[in-house]
């Protein structure tokens, strides 16, 4: 059996449909259930349903052989695993966003940046030689500049509708993000006969 760590939510449906196109029986993933451990009817695949940020943990520890996770999470988690394939789903952008009308002249020497990508934000601002105070948050990041908690945010933007609804805009796109297929290093060796054909099927399903 090949085990997957997958997340529900935005990526979930796109991910299930891609796996299906690659020949994986995903009927268990389509069930409306609160169960966190599922398996395909043919018992070839097991699925663990986890929070996006926990996918790399399950794969690094070898609890799951494979995982599907956004590049944003991979960068932030920085785990020891193999990134096998860009699945081109869940496309979004990691951006600096804030009030569009507050230009450079308003910029304080120490920019306050709210984010759930603390390590990545620190790295990005350090690489740019900009001093920034990183304010860690867990969600609703857009609220930070609205309430004065931060000057800007560093966050993923998909449709842009959350920014727009809160009067904010993208100030700068830092890098594009998409979902990746990741593998546990030992699983890739021990189960290569099962995993590599699946990777090939996924690659073809992407064409
Ligand atoms: C993410 C992100 C933004 C929003 C962007 O949050 O942090 O808030 O999605 O998407 P959009 O550009 O399509 O509006 P998520 O929905 O994961 O919830 P969160 O606030 O709990 O982080």
Q: What is the pLDDT along the chain (207 residues), one digit of tens a residue?
A: 999 999 988 899 999 999 999 999 999 999 999 999 999 999 999 999 999 999 999 999 999 999 999 999 999 999 999 999 999 999 999 999 999 976 555 566 789 999 999 999 999 999 999 999 999 999 999 999 999 999 999 999 999 999 999 999 999 999 999 999 999 999 999 999 999 999 999 999 998
Nearest CA owner, ligand 1 atom 14: 162
- What local confidence, expressed as pLDDT, does residue 102 receive? 66
- What local confidence, expressed as pLDDT, does residue 107 receive? 60
Q: How far, in Å, from the CA of 156 to the mean position of ligand 1?
A: 7
- CA–CA dist 142, 145 (Å, integer): 6
Q: How far, in Å, from the CA of 48 to the mean position of ligand 1?
A: 23
Nearest CA owner, ligand 1 atom 1: 156
- What local confidence, expressed as pLDDT, does residue 2 receive? 97
CB 153 within 8 A of CB 131: no
- What local confidence, expressed as pLDDT, does residue 9 receive? 81
Nearest CA owner, ligand 1 atom 18: 139
Model confidence, pTM: 0.93
- CA–CA dist 43, 196 (Å, integer): 18
- Within 6 Å (CB) of ligand 1, which residues are found? 139-142, 155-162
Q: Write the CA distances from 111 to 13, 42, 55, 72, 153, integer angstroms.
A: 37, 54, 31, 22, 10
Q: How far, in Å, from the CA of 6 to the mean position of ligand 1?
A: 18
Give, for ligand 1, the residue of 120, 157, 164 to mutate: max count of ligand atoms closer than 8 Å to Cβ.
Answer: 157
Give, for ligand 1, the residue of 162, 164, 170 to mutate: max count of ligand atoms closer than 8 Å to Cβ.
Answer: 162
Give, for ligand 1, the residue of 11, 91, 139, 161 to mutate: max count of ligand atoms closer than 8 Å to Cβ.
Answer: 139
In degrees and rounded to multiples of 5, residue 68 shows phi and psi of -120, 125
Q: How far, in Å, from the CA of 162 to the mean position of ligand 1?
A: 7
- What local confidence, expressed as pLDDT, does residue 193 receive? 97
- What local confidence, expressed as pLDDT, does residue 60 receive? 98
List own/partner pairs for 23-27 with CB under 8 A and 24 or more apart. 23/198, 23/201, 24/198
- What local confidence, expressed as pLDDT, does residue 8 receive? 81
Q: How far, in Å, from the CA of 159 to the mean position of ligand 1?
A: 9
- What local confidence, expressed as pLDDT, does residue 103 receive? 58
Q: Write the CA distances from 164 to 97, 98, 107, integer angstroms.
A: 11, 10, 22
Atom of ligand 1 nearest to the CA of 165: 14
Q: Count Cβ atoms below 10 Å from residue 134 Cβ, excluding itself.
A: 19
- What local confidence, expressed as pLDDT, does residue 198 receive? 97
- What local confidence, expressed as pLDDT, does residue 109 receive? 74
- CA–CA dist 153, 115 (Å, integer): 6
């Amino acid at each position: 059996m090949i085990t997957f760590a997958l997340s529900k939510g935005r990526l979930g449906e796109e991910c299930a449909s891609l796996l299906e196109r690659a020949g994986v029986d995903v009927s268990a993933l389509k069930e409306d259930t609160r169960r966190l451990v599922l398996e395909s009817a043919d018992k070839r695949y097991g699925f663990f349903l986890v929070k996006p940020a926990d996918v790399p943990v399950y794969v690094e520890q070898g609890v799951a052989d494979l995982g599907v996770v956004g590049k944003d999470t991979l960068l932030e988690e920085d785990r020891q695993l193999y990134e096998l394939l860009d699945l081109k789903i869940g496309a979004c952008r990691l951006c600096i966003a804030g009030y569009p009308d507050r230009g450079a002249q308003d910029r304080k020497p120490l920019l306050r940046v709210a984010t759930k990508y603390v390590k990545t934000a620190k790295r990005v601002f350090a690489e740019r030689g900009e001093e920034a105070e990183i304010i860690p948050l867990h969600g609703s990041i857009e609220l930070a500049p609205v309430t004065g908690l931060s000057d800007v945010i560093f966050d993923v933007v998909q449709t842009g509708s959350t920014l727009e609804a809160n009067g904010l805009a993208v100030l700068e796109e830092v890098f594009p993000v998409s979902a990746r297929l990741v593998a546990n290093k030992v699983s890739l060796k021990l189960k290569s006969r099962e995993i590599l054909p699946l990777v090939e099927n996924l690659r073809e399903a992407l064409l």
